[in-house]
Chains A and B, each alone.
Chain A
Amino acid sequence: MARMLPEPTPETRHFWEGCRDGELRLQRCTDCKHTYFPPRAFCPKCASREVEIYKASGKAILYSYVINHRPRPDMGTEPYAIAVVQLDEGPRMMTNIVGCPQTPEALVLDMPVQVHFAKQTDEISLPLFEPAKG
C-alpha cells in the first residue's frame, strides 16, 4: 500500500520543492524576524506579508513522541515512532525518526537529530530525522 503523501498547495509548494531538492526551507518575517512553520504567506506573529524563504540548518532535538503499536496499513507492520522535533531555528514539526530502533531506550527526549530526506515520488520527499552524527 502506497504511503499517504502530502498534496502541496500554492502556499506550501516551496517547502515540498525544497524537500525534493534536499533543503529544509522555513519562512521568516522580514519585519519582525520571526521564523515560523507550517508555511503561509504572512507572519503569524505580526501579520506582515513581507516574508522570505530560507534554508534551515536541518538540525533539531527530539521534543516528544509516541511509538505507534498499531501501524497504519501504509506504514508497514512494525511499531514506529511518531515524533515532534524542535528545529534549531525555533519551530516544531511532526516527523518520523529513522536510523535507530523504535524503542524508548533509543529515543531519548532532547537528543540531537538531523534531517534526512526520504524520497517517496519524483515530487515528494518527506523530511524525516535521524540521530545526529558526530
Chain B
Amino acid sequence: MKPKSIAVVGAAETTRLGKIPDVSVIGLHADAALNAMKDAGLKPSDIDGVATAGISPVELAHYLGITPTYADGTSVGGCSFMLHVRHAAAAINEGLCKTVLITHGESGRSRVGAGGFGRAPSSLMGQFEMPYGVTSPPTMFTIPVLRYMKTYGVSEADLANVAVIQREWAAKNPRASFKDPITVDDVLNSPMIAWPFRMLMCCLVTDGGGALILTSAERAKDFPQKPVYILGTGESVETPMVSQMEDFTSSKAFRVSGKKAFEESGIKHADVDHLMIYDAFAHLPLYGLEDLGFVKPGEAKDFINERNTAIGGKLPLNTNGGGLSYMHSGMYGMYALQESVRQMRGTAAAQIEGAKISVAHGVGGMFAASGTVIFTNES
C-alpha cells in the first residue's frame, strides 16, 4: 500500500474490560463497534465494509444493520485484526468500499455465548499433537522456549523480568487488570503452569472487545478525531502445529511480516517511538524484538534487562501493560492496535511524549500467523 493513504478515524474498546458476565460474545463486538462509531461520528449506514474474527462478518453485519460491499472473515488467531487492517487498506485504495469497521469481542473469562476450544482428531494437530497431552496455549506456545533459552543463555529470571517491566507500565493504566508492582522473585514463586512457565509469565484471561474504523486519508480530515495514518503493513503464516516451526528460536511469520511492514513504510528501526508486541506469554516480546530486527538474535533479554523497553527507556514496549497485565480476552491483537492508536492520538494512559511512529505486531495461534501495522500521526 501507499504509506499514509489510509487512516484510522474511529477506535474504541468495550465500555468495560475484565469480567463481563452479562454480555455475550456478539454483544461485546457490538458494544465496541458502537463506541468506535460514536468516536468517529458515524452510524451503521455510513459503514460499507466489515471485518472480524471469532464470529463471522455475516453475523457482525446483520447484528449491526450494515449492508457492506466488502467483507473480510480472515481468522488466523489473535493477530487477525492486523491482517484486517492491511486488507481493508488495500480494499479502500482499490475502491471496493470507503469505510471499514473491524471488530473484536471475546468472552474469554465468562464464556457467555462462546464456542469451545478443540481440534478434530483427524486434523494434523489432532493426530500429531493432541495425543501427547497438550491442553491450551500454556502447553503449546511455550514448547519452543527451552531451545531458545539454551541457544542464547536465557534464564528463567530473564523471562520473569519481562512480566515485571510490563507490570510497571500497567501501574500507570487505570483500565489494567493487574496494577500492583511485582518482582522477579514474585514471578518465579508464582504457581507452576508448564515448566519453565509460571503463572505470572502467562497472560490473563478476561472479557472485552475493541473496534477500529478506517477510511481514506483524504476523507479522514473531515472526521472529529485526529487521524492516525497507516505507514506500512505486513502479514504471514507459518504452521498450525508449533512442533513443526522451522526454527524454535525465531518465528518465520514474525520475520516475514515485520520485514514487509518496514519495507512498505520506508522507515528505519531507529524512527520507531513506540512498540506493541503481542505478549500472550513472557517469551513473545523477546522473539518479537529479535524477529522484527530491533536487536540481533539473542540480544533481546539484555535489551529488556537494561530497561530500554521500560518507562523512560528508548523503546517503550507494551505501554498498556500488555496481555500479561492489561487484559487478554483470547485474541489480544485488537488491544495492541488500540494502544498504538491512543499513543498516536496522544490519549494513552502512559502517553509517550512526542511519539510520532508506533508499531503494533501481532501473533496468531502458537507462532502460526503474524501481522504488523505501522502507524504515524503525521500526515
Interface residue ranges, A against B (CB under 8 Å): 3-9, 12, 16, 37-38, 63-72, 74-75, 79-80, 82-84, 92-96, 104, 109, 126
Binds A, one of B9-17, B137-145, B349-357: B137-145
A42 to chain B, nearest CB (A): 15
Interface residues of B, dominant DSSP: mixed
A-B contact pairs, 10 of them (CB 8 A): A5-B121, A6-B127, A6-B131, A7-B121, A7-B126, A12-B127, A68-B133, A69-B194, A84-B243, A96-B133
Q: Does the CB pair A109–B128 fall under 8 Å? A: no
B241: chain A residues at CB < 8 Å are 38, 94
CB distance from A23 to the nearest CB of B (A): 17
Are the CB atoms of B144 and A64 closer together than 8 Å? yes
| B133 in complex: contacting residue of A6, A16, A71, CB < 8 Å | A71
B194 lies within 8 A of A68 (CB): yes
B132 part of interface (Cβ distance < 8 Å): yes
**A4 and B121 within 8 A (CB):** yes
| B159-198 contact mask (Cβ, 8 Å, vs A): 1 or 0 | 0000000000000000000000000000000011111110
- Tell me how many residue pairs across A and B have CB atoms closer than 8 Å: 106
A93 / chain B contacts, CB cutoff of 8 Å = 128, 243
- Max chain B Cβ within 10 angstroms of own Cβ: one of A37, A67, A109: A67
Apart from A82-B134, A84-B143, 5 more pairs, CB < 8 Å:
A7-B121, A70-B193, A83-B132, A84-B144, A126-B132
When C-beta atoms are compared, the residue in chain A nearest to B148 turns out to be: A64
Q: Which of B128, B147, B197, B243 counts the most chain A CB atoms within 10 A?
A: B243
Given contacts A63-B147, A63-B248, A64-B147, contact A104 B195 (CB under 8 A): yes
Interface positions of B (Cβ within 8 A of A): 120-122, 124, 126-135, 138-139, 142-147, 150, 191-197, 241, 243-244, 248
For the complex, what is the distance from the CA of A72 to the CA of B126, rounded to whole Å?
Answer: 15
A93-B243, A126-B131 known; A64 and B145 CB under 8 Å?
A: yes
Return chain B residues, CB-CB under 8 Å to A16: 127
Q: In the complex, are the beta carbons of A66 and B128 less than 8 A apart? A: no
The reply to whether A94 and B129 form a contact with Cβ atoms under 8 Å apart is yes
Contact, CB under 8 Å: B135 / A72? yes
